[in-house]
Amino acid sequence: MLRIAVPNKGSLSEPAAAMLKEAGYRQRRDSRELVLPDPDNDVEFFFLRPRDIAVYVGAGTVDVGITGRDLMLDSESDAVEHLPLGFGRSTFRFAANAGGISTVQQVDGHRVATSYPVLVAEYLRGLGVTPAGVVRLDGAVETAIRLGVADVIADVVETGTTLRAAGLEIFGDPILRSEAVLVRRSDVDAPAGLDVLTRRLQGVLTAQQYVLMDYDVPTTLVEQAVAITPGLESPTVSPLHNRDWSAVRAMVRREETNRVMDALYGVGARAILVTSIHACRL
Ligand SMILES: Nc1ncnc2c1ncn2[C@@H]1O[C@H](COP(=O)(O)OP(=O)(O)OP(=O)(O)O)[C@@H](O)[C@H]1O
Ligand SMILES: O=P(O)(O)OC[C@H]1O[C@H](OP(=O)(O)OP(=O)(O)O)[C@H](O)[C@@H]1O
Ligand SMILES: [Mg+2]
């Protein structure tokens, strides 16, 4: 039975549960449930703090887990990224008082507050910058400068609203771009059942990222139209009752939907229909 760790709280918890539900797994009914067996799918879920998940996976006490790339890298565990999951996206960035420190080089000799001390120390070491100290805080890191424990912070930025509200400004390149990832141990064979979990999660990602596009096109123009919608393998082309026309069906990346529809219309396709994909196994 594959043991899967899932975030019990925080930003990653709800989207992780939603993705597993889409992938056909059992859901917990009560957020106080800590372990949930799903014998029909031969897996068992453990609801853990997202920060601890890479630690459990690295120690081998659970087989795989869902956590943030930033949390995994900060954990110094043996867990490695197996599959990016496309949610919980954030950047990890330096910030300081507006008009103050504005380059990473200037961090030299200053105090940095963060919830991700390993990430920050490694990044600065890589640039040859030596801070006066790295202060580890659990949260509300933005307040650390005002309260005098640090000169600079490094924190998760999603919309930037929290930083703006604290009167802070981002500087330097992003330290990291993060998203939720499925992690596993690097130094052991893939656990039994991981291939099924991976295919199911990839199926959910594909269903989210692609739409199904159907259209009619004059048969003489099929080659031109198909060049715009090559699909994943090859599009389906079917004859219509009126043989001067053909019907085409292909998968298209969701964000390209309107550009592709414009291009198809331009070469003479009509009755262009777009449908969401509910589930998919490639
Ligand atoms: N707006 C956000 N705030 C915090 N973390 C975010 C955000 N958006 C995405 N994330 C990601 O979520 C993970 C952090 O989750 P975690 O549960 O530890 O913190 P949290 O969501 O701030 O929860 P809490 O502070 O309530 O404990 C990281 O991988 C981080 O990159
Ligand atoms: O860029 P934004 O969209 O504003 O989001 C980023 C902020 O959200 C998180 O804080 P959270 O609300 O989890 O509080 P915490 O600092 O106590 O963890 C994170 O630590 C940032 O402070
Ligand atoms: Mg937080």
- Interatomic CA distance for residues 82 and 86, integer angstroms: 13
SS3 150: coil
Whether residues 73 and 95 share a domain: the answer is no
Cβ of residue 165 lying under 6 Å from some atom of ligand 2: no
Whether 83 and 185 share a structural domain: yes
Residue 107 lies in a domain: yes
Count of Cβ atoms closer than 10 Å to residue 176 Cβ: 19
Pocket lining: 102 vs ligand 2, CB cutoff 6 Å: no
Question: Strand pairing partners for 79?
Answer: 185
Q: In which residue are the tokens 């199926």 written? A: 203
Give the number of whichever ligand sits closest to the CA of residue 15: 1
Is 202 domain-assigned?
no
Domain that holds residue 167: 90-178
Q: Residues whose CB is under 5 A from ligand 3 (ion)?
A: 139
- For residues 85 and 182, the answer to whether their CB atoms sit within 8 Å is yes
- Nearest-CA residue for atom 9 of ligand 1: 88
**pTM, whole model, 2 decimals?**
0.92
Residue 130 forms part of a structural domain: yes
Tens-level pLDDT at each residue, the chain (282 residues): 999 999 999 999 999 999 999 999 999 999 999 999 999 999 999 999 999 999 999 999 999 999 999 999 999 999 999 999 999 999 999 999 999 999 999 999 999 999 999 999 999 999 999 999 999 999 999 999 999 999 999 999 999 999 999 999 999 999 999 999 999 998 899 999 999 999 999 999 999 999 999 999 999 999 999 999 999 999 999 999 999 999 999 999 999 999 999 999 999 999 999 999 998 888
Q: Which residues line ligand 1 (CB under 6 A)?
A: 9-12, 50-51, 68, 70-71, 88, 90, 139, 156, 158, 178
Which domain-ending residue is among 192, 227, 250? 192
User: What is the number of structural domains in the chain?
Assistant: 3
> Phi/psi of residue 61, each to 5°?
-80, -25
Q: Whose CA is nearest to atom 9 of ligand 2?
A: 156
Q: What is the CATH number of the domain that holds 150?
A: 3.40.190.10
- Asked if residue 77 is part of any domain, the answer here is yes
Q: Could you tell me if 115 and 139 lie in one domain?
A: yes
Task: Count CB-CB contacts under 10 A for residue 251.
Answer: 20
ipTM of the complex: 0.96
Residues 228 and 263 in one domain: yes
**43 C-alpha to center of ligand 3: Å?**
29
37 & 100 share domain? no
Same-domain status, 185 and 59: yes
Q: Do 94 and 174 fall into the same domain?
A: yes
Let me know whether 9 and 113 are in one domain.
no
Domain end residue (candidates: 139, 161, 192):
192
Tell how far the Cα of 139 is from the centroid of ligand 3, in angstroms. Answer: 6
Q: Which two tokens stand for residue 226?
A: 């198909």
**Domain end among 162, 192, 222:** 192
Residue 11 alpha carbon, nearest atom of ligand 2: 13
What's the CATH number where 234 sits?
3.30.70.120
CA–CA dist 77, 37 (Å, integer)? 26
- Pocket perturbation via mutation, ligand 2, pick of 51, 89, 158 by most ligand atoms within 8 A of CB: 158
Residues 187 and 55 reside in one and the same domain: yes
CA distance 62 to 65: 8
Q: Do residues 166 and 127 share a domain? A: yes
| Residue 10 and residue 120 in one domain | no
pLDDT, residue 87, reads: 97
- Could you say which ligand is closest to the alpha carbon of residue 158? 2
Asked whether residue 97 falls in the same domain as residue 81, the answer is: no
